[in-house]
Amino acid sequence: MLAPVYSQTIKLKWHMAMLQILEYRPGRETPIRHTINLTRLPATIGRWDQATYPVAVGMDPRLVFVRSISRIHATVYREGDQIMLKDGGDQPSRNGLWRNGVQLNRPVRIYEGCEYALVPRTGDYGLLLKWPVTEPSTDYPTLGLEDVDSLKAELKDSDEQIDFLTTQVDQLTIQQGATRDTALSLQKEVITIKTELRTVKAKNLRQDSRLKQQNRWLLGLAIVVLGATSLLLFGDSDTLELICKTVLSIIGIISAIAGFNHEKTSQS
């Protein structure tokens, strides 16, 4: 099998977007960023120092916007293959979660590009949960083929092998057709032989039946002759007549039974 030789390998580098907490404070030009580790969930966000990600740390708790943050304000957790956000922890937070100015009343899915407000920005303070969109960075190295003459030679050899295999396939197809014709011819001959054997068997059965019937008649005739001779020598005519009728009746019954058996054998 041919395989192109590449001078370099394409490498794609994808940068995973990160879920971040953005805390805007008075007197700061840029927000304080807390990156949530998505491999360690569930995680809580709140003013309590035992929250997974504490916020408003070191600020005066008497400030209005600080008092609007609950001790456990939100929880990030995993549900199947989705990352979810819900209000509060065991209990709802004081001021809830917001998105585009609308308060959320149930857990929502977190996805790349989303933004939720734990404390909507009022003045210089705000607390947001954001998953920024990041574009994949790619490197596109130059692809080059080396040793072109060697590749051409391999391609030529492959073409010759393909022609050889094609010829063999054609020959095998012809042989297969001839074998199929021979098999059909043999099958027809077998059917003919079976038919002839059935005919011969039926003929032999009929001949055997006739011979048996003749033997029975000869036996009956011999019995009648023997009985008649005995009666002529030692008995009267009435007894002779009775014996002859009895013998003939027995021969008739035997012949009828033999004919029925022969007919049954022929049908089978």
Q: Which two tokens stand for residue 204?
A: 């032999």
Per-residue confidence in pLDDT tens, the chain, 268 aa: 434 333 333 333 333 447 888 888 888 888 888 888 888 889 999 888 888 998 887 776 667 777 788 888 999 999 988 889 999 888 888 888 988 888 888 899 888 888 898 888 777 788 888 888 766 555 544 444 445 666 676 777 777 788 888 888 888 888 888 888 888 888 888 888 888 888 888 888 888 888 888 777 777 777 777 766 766 666 666 666 676 677 677 767 766 666 655 555 555 5
Res 76: pLDDT: 93
CA 168 to each of CA 1, 160, 178: distance values in angstroms, whole numbers, following the listed order: 20, 13, 15
| Peptide bond just before 42 cis, omega within 30 deg | yes
Taking every pair of Cα atoms in the chain, the longest distance, rounded to a whole number of angstroms, is 160
**Would you call 165 helix, strand, or coil by DSSP?**
helix
Res 144: pLDDT: 47
Contact yes or no for 99/130 (Cβ under 8 A): no
Q: Which two tokens stand for residue 86?
A: 């819900």
DSSP 51: S
Q: Which two tokens stand for residue 164?
A: 């050889």
Alpha carbons 86 and 110: distance in angstroms, whole number: 10
Q: Where are the alpha helices (H) located in 138-236, listed in sequence order?
A: 148-234
The model's pTM = 0.44
Phi-psi region of 243 (alpha: psi -120 to 50; beta: other; left: phi over 0): alpha
Position 204, amino acid: N
Reference 99, options 118, 112, 82; nearest CA is 118
Contact yes or no for 77/41 (Cβ under 8 A): yes
Helix (H) or strand (E) holding 65: helix 64-67
Res 262: pLDDT: 56
Residue 17 phi/psi, 5° resolution?
A: -70, 150
